[in-house]
């Protein structure tokens, strides 16, 4: 249990990749702050399960990360209950699929706020304690869309290129502080986020569900297989270890060969 005594905040961890990362960190003894939306009873089941796995504490925050003041309150509450954040995983994200000239303005604002600006706030609030301790890990969930684009996903692509840039900038600022800052760029991972965009893609491109799965999603992925949440979580966990202390400012692809093409 190499993370015993550390505290981790994983944003967007009630589902998908974030839940797998929170589970992996708790499995190594970390106290975990869970965040995201969902069914209250199910979230409580997850929270209690994390405590059982870690032998430590797990706290749930329902903070809406599109609001700076909610992020500030979550960070303060977490620090008070579990101590300062040692491991920050900026993972919460959302998607909407539409051509740029049809893109709802409110959706643009939401995607940029959640996928990019929220990480600015959590990082600026978590860093002082990490620097003071001389140890910290920041892992951002970017995407293959931090490196390449797809049509009808302009704000998502912009936000993910943005978080990759933020990762590099903060890595340089913290390079001598014992803090590493990296992003993981998955290809298509089978989660509710992917499942939910199938209907919009069907509409935007006039395709059937099967065509979207095979000709749009897995078309980009040379392995023709979805990435799993556990594979992403294993890489995030590795980045938290001492073996990864020299990895900073990296954008680590886990995309079945997508961005090699």
Residues at the contact surface with ligand NAD, assessed by CB under 6 A: 12-18, 35-38, 64-66, 91-94, 114-115, 141, 143, 186, 188-189, 191-194
Tokens of 81: 């209950």
H-only helix segments in 83-228: 105-112, 118-133, 154-173, 192-205, 209-211
Please, what is the minimum distance in Å from the beta carbon of residue 19 to ligand NAD?
Answer: 7
62/71 Cα distance (integer angstroms): 10
Please, what is the minimum distance in Å from the beta carbon of residue 42 to ligand NAD?
Answer: 11
Count of beta carbons in the 10 Å neighbourhood of residue 246:
8
74/64 Cα distance (integer angstroms): 9
Residue 60 or residue 188: which is nearer to ligand NAD going by CB?
188
- CA angle (145 as vertex; 166, 60 as ends), nearest 5: 65
Tokens of 233: 């979580």
Residue 54 or residue 141: which is nearer to ligand NAD going by CB?
141
Please, what is the minimum distance in Å from the beta carbon of residue 34 to ligand NAD?
Answer: 9
Is residue 134 left, alpha or beta, with left meaning phi > 0 and alpha meaning psi from -120 to 50? left
Residue 101 makes CB contacts below 8 A (sequence gap 6+) with none
Catalytic residues: 156
Residue 38 or residue 178: which is nearer to ligand NAD going by CB?
38
Where is 234: in which H helix or E strand?
helix 229-239
3-state percent helix, strand, coil for the chain, nearest multiple of 5: 55, 15, 30
Which candidate, 15, 82, 75, 65, places its Cα nearest to that of 43? 15
Please, what is the minimum distance in Å from the beta carbon of residue 191 to ligand NAD?
Answer: 3
Please, what is the minimum distance in Å from the beta carbon of residue 204 to ligand NAD?
Answer: 17
């Amino acid at each position: 249990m190499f993370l015993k005594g550390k505290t981790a905040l994983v944003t967007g961890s009630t589902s998908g990749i974030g839940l797998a990362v929170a589970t992996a960190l708790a499995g190594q003894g970390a106290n975990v702050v869970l965040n995201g939306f969902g069914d209250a009873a199910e979230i409580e089941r997850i929270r209690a399960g994390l405590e059982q796995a870690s032998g430590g504490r797990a706290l749930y925050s329902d903070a809406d990360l599109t609001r700076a003041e909610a992020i500030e309150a979550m960070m303060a509450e977490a620090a008070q209950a579990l101590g300062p954040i040692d491991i920050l995983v900026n993972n919460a994200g959302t998607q909407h699929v539409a051509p740029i000239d049809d893109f709802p303005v409110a959706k643009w604002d939401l995607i940029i706020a959640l996928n990019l600006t929220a990480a600015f706030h959590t990082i600026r609030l978590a860093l002082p304690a990490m620097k003071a301790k001389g140890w910290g890990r920041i892992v951002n969930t970017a995407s293959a869309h931090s490196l390449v684009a797809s049509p009808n996903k302009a704000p998502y692509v912009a936000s993910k290129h943005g978080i990759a840039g933020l990762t590099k900038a903060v890595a340089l600022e913290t390079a001598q502080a014992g803090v590493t800052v990296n992003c993981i760029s998955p290809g298509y991972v089978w989660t509710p986020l992917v499942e939910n965009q199938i209907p919009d893609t069907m509409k935007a491109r006039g395709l059937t569900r099967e065509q979207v799965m095979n000709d749009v999603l897995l078309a980009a992925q040379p392995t023709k297989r979805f990435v799993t949440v556990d594979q992403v979580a294993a890489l995030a966990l590795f980045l938290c270890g001492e073996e990864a202390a020299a990895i900073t400012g990296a954008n680590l692809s886990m995309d079945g060969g997508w961005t090699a093409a």
